[in-house]
């Protein structure tokens, strides 16, 4: 049981959906007008599309407004004024925060925020941390190299806003971080699934220490989809003896979704702060009902320095038909963020999402957490290979595990894999975000 009130914002988190929709339209119009009035980039974009603030009378009207994606932001920021281009809606002297995206898909996007925007970041994190059971008595350890990226600065300030005691684990190495958790009896932490699993490996294999015996009772994961992949979540929960909750957010967007204490098999969208639309990838139609996946188009209502209006995030999501037993009326997205439009590719004519492979590998006892996926063209045929690590104690069950792995992969992904077993410790380890999928085809 978690003490205190259930909700961070009891009014908005339980607001009837019809009322939320009215509020969303009102807030959308406000930020739309703001961007129109204050950013040359936005005004030109909307002017060319023939749409202005007076044209948006219903939520459906919003669909006529042009989207903006990462490549558009990269283009704007290559032009003057330096460094944000003419999408900036406030005088430069009002900017108090600089962050940037990780740049895994090209030139990083720079993100300016005002002090008010930064307060808004903390508020959005306060919703999610409270929903995951963080309370003022928690001592939160953040095992992350604080840097130009927004993770986990916003988590840090969100936890402070709630009243938690926050311990920044910045430049410490993994062993020192584990010792600090032990010394201070930290009760919660935040990190990428890759890193949190790697910490558990270090504790067991290099320090002879069982992380489930430490005092961590809840872990917030972000940055990768792992905490919504059932087998990865289970592995982290077992290793740490803690509950694991997912969160999805992004530098250009904000902290838009979170799993709650009920762990409903999906995440709530914070509909008081964001408008989420789901677009069919092939037809461009907006998907209103559960049952079909599409990519997320998102608007942050209250972010002012560099607004996020109909941002094409490329995250693949789907509305959940179920409501959540926690009582929040914010809708759920089923299974969290299930992939990225950029990562979903066709292999041998079959639609393939790498996260499905992770679920299979980590669902099998006897295999380590790491894996490497690779697609090549061999003699003009596509070939997909998967390397996994066999744990030493599972050596005698190698054939059974191989057969089961092959069956499960075929069942979940409809593909045949060239499987390679490696010894535990042979595959690369990743510090923060993993890059386990290599597509070596020439963009077929
Ligand atoms: Zn819930």
Mean pLDDT of the chain: 94
Per-residue confidence (pLDDT) for residue 2, from 0 to 100: 67
Per-residue confidence (pLDDT) for residue 104, from 0 to 100: 67
Q: pLDDT band at 340, cuts 50/70/90?
A: confident
Whole-angstrom distance between the N-terminal and C-terminal Cα of the chain? 52
Gap from CA of 311 to ligand 1 centroid (Å):
25
- Rounded distance between C-alpha atoms, residue 159 and residue 169, angstroms: 14
Per-residue confidence (pLDDT) for residue 1, from 0 to 100: 54
Which residues have CB under 8 Å from 355's CB, separation 6+?
225, 229, 338, 339
Residue 91's SS3 state is: coil
Per-residue confidence (pLDDT) for residue 384, from 0 to 100: 94
Number of Cβ within 10 Å of residue 92's Cβ equals 12
- Rounded distance between C-alpha atoms, residue 19 and residue 252, angstroms: 27
Q: In this prediction, what percent of the chain has a pLDDT beyond 70?
A: 98
Gap from CA of 149 to ligand 1 centroid (Å):
28
Gap from CA of 258 to ligand 1 centroid (Å):
9
In 162-221, which ranges are E strands? 165-168, 188-191, 218-221
Per-residue confidence (pLDDT) for residue 381, from 0 to 100: 87
Q: In this prediction, what percent of the chain has a pLDDT beyond 90?
A: 84
Which is more confident, 310 or 439? 310
Gap from CA of 324 to ligand 1 centroid (Å):
5
Gap from CA of 217 to ligand 1 centroid (Å):
19
Per-residue confidence (pLDDT) for residue 120, from 0 to 100: 98
Per-residue confidence (pLDDT) for residue 105, from 0 to 100: 64
Q: Please report how many Cα atoms fall inside a 13 Å half-sphere around the Cα of residue 151, on the Cβ side.
A: 20
- Rounded distance between C-alpha atoms, residue 26 and residue 47, angstroms: 21
CB 198 within 8 A of CB 430: yes
Residue 166's SS3 state is: strand
- Cα→Cα distances 296→15, 258, 269, 341, 375, Å: 23, 15, 11, 10, 27
Gap from CA of 287 to ligand 1 centroid (Å):
22
Section 260-271 average pLDDT: 97
Q: In the block, which residue shows the tokens 């009322």?
A: 19
Q: Please report how many Cα atoms fall inside a 13 Å half-sphere around the Cα of residue 367, on the Cβ side.
A: 28
Per-residue confidence (pLDDT) for residue 444, from 0 to 100: 43
What confidence tens digit (pLDDT) does each residue in 214-243 have? 999 999 999 888 888 999 999 999 999 999
Alpha helices in 50-173, H assignment, sequence order? 70-77, 115-131, 153-162
Full set of structural domains in the chain with CATH: 1-341 (3.40.50.12780), 345-439 (3.30.300.30)
Gap from CA of 189 to ligand 1 centroid (Å):
20
Gap from CA of 266 to ligand 1 centroid (Å):
9
pLDDT at 23 over 70: yes
Q: What DSSP line would sit under 2-35, residue for residue?
A: --S-S-SSTTGGG--HHHHHHHHHHHHHHHHHHH
Gap from CA of 269 to ligand 1 centroid (Å):
10
What does the block give as tokens for 207? 């320090």
Per-residue confidence (pLDDT) for residue 432, from 0 to 100: 73
Q: pLDDT band at 92, cuts 50/70/90?
A: very high
Section 66-85 average pLDDT: 94
Gap from CA of 64 to ligand 1 centroid (Å):
32
Per-residue confidence (pLDDT) for residue 58, from 0 to 100: 97
Gap from CA of 14 to ligand 1 centroid (Å):
11
- Rounded distance between C-alpha atoms, residue 371 and residue 40, angstroms: 46
Gap from CA of 270 to ligand 1 centroid (Å):
11
Gap from CA of 335 to ligand 1 centroid (Å):
13
What confidence tens digit (pLDDT) does each residue in 372-386 have? 999 998 888 899 999
Gap from CA of 18 to ligand 1 centroid (Å):
18
The dihedral built from the CA positions of residue 234, 239, 241 and 244, taken in this order, carries a sign that is negative
Number of Cβ within 10 Å of residue 338's Cβ equals 19
Which is more confident, 132 or 353? 132
Gap from CA of 246 to ligand 1 centroid (Å):
12
Gap from CA of 235 to ligand 1 centroid (Å):
22
- Rounded distance between C-alpha atoms, residue 192 and residue 223, angstroms: 6
Gap from CA of 48 to ligand 1 centroid (Å):
41
pLDDT at 442 over 80: no
- Rounded distance between C-alpha atoms, residue 126 and residue 227, angstroms: 19
Gap from CA of 302 to ligand 1 centroid (Å):
23
Gap from CA of 185 to ligand 1 centroid (Å):
28
Gap from CA of 260 to ligand 1 centroid (Å):
5
What confidence tens digit (pLDDT) does each residue in 281-325 have? 889 999 999 999 999 999 999 999 999 999 999 999 999 999 999
Per-residue confidence (pLDDT) for residue 302, from 0 to 100: 97
Gap from CA of 263 to ligand 1 centroid (Å):
7
Q: In the block, which residue shows the tokens 């003009």?
A: 380
pTM over 0.85: yes
Gap from CA of 192 to ligand 1 centroid (Å):
22
């Amino acid at each position: 049981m978690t003490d205190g009130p259930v909700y961070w914002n009891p009014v908005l988190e339980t607001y009837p959906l019809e009322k939320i929709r009215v509020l969303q339209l009102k807030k959308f119009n406000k930020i739309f007008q703001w961007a129109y009035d204050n950013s040359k980039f936005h005004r030109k974009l909307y002017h060319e599309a023939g749409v202005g603030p007076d044209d948006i009378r219903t939520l459906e009207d919003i669909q006529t407004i042009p989207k903006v994606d990462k490549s558009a932001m990269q283009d704007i920021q290559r032009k003057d004024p330096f460094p944000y281009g003419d999408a900036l809606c406030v005088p430069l002297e009002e900017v108090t925060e600089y962050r940037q995206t990780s740049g895994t898909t090209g030139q990083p996007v720079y993100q300016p925020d005002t002090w008010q925007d930064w307060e808004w970041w903390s508020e959005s994190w306060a919703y999610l941390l409270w929903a995951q059971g963080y309370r003022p008595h928690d001592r939160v350890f953040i095992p992350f190299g604080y840097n130009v990226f927004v993770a986990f600065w916003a988590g840090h300030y969100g936890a402070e806003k709630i009243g938690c005691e926050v311990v920044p684990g910045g430049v410490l190495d993994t062993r020192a971080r584990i010792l600090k958790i032990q010394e201070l009896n930290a009760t919660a932490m935040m990190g990428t699934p890759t890193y949190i699993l790697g910490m558990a490996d270090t504790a067991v294999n290099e320090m002879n220490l069982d992380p489930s015996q430490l005092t961590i009772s809840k872990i917030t994961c972000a940055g990768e989809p792992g905490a919504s992949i059932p087998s990865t979540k289970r592995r982290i929960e077992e290793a740490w003896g803690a509950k694991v909750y997912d969160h999805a957010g992004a530098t250009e967007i904000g902290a838009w979704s979170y799993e709650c204490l009920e762990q409903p098999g999906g995440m709530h969208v914070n509909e008081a702060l964001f408008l989420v639309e789901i677009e069919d990838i092939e037809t461009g139609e907006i998907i209103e009902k559960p049952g079909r996946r599409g990519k997320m188009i998102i608007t942050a209502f209250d972010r002012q320095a560099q607004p996020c209006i109909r941002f094409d995030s490329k995250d693949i999501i789907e509305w959940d038909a179920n409501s959540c037993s926690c009582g929040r009326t914010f809708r759920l997205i089923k299974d969290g963020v299930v992939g990225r439009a950029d990562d979903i590719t066709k292999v041998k004519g079959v639609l393939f999402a790498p996260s499905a492979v992770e679920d299979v590998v980590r669902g099998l006892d006897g295999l380590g957490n790491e894996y490497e996926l690779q697609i090549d063209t061999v003699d003009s045929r596509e070939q997909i290979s998967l390397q996994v690590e066999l744990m030493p104690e599972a050596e005698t069950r190698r054939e059974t595990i191989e057969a089961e792995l092959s069956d499960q992969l075929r069942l979940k992904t409809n593909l045949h894999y060239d499987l390679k077993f490696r010894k535990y410790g042979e595959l690369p380890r990743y510090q923060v975000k993993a890059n386990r999928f290599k597509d070596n085809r020439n963009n077929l």
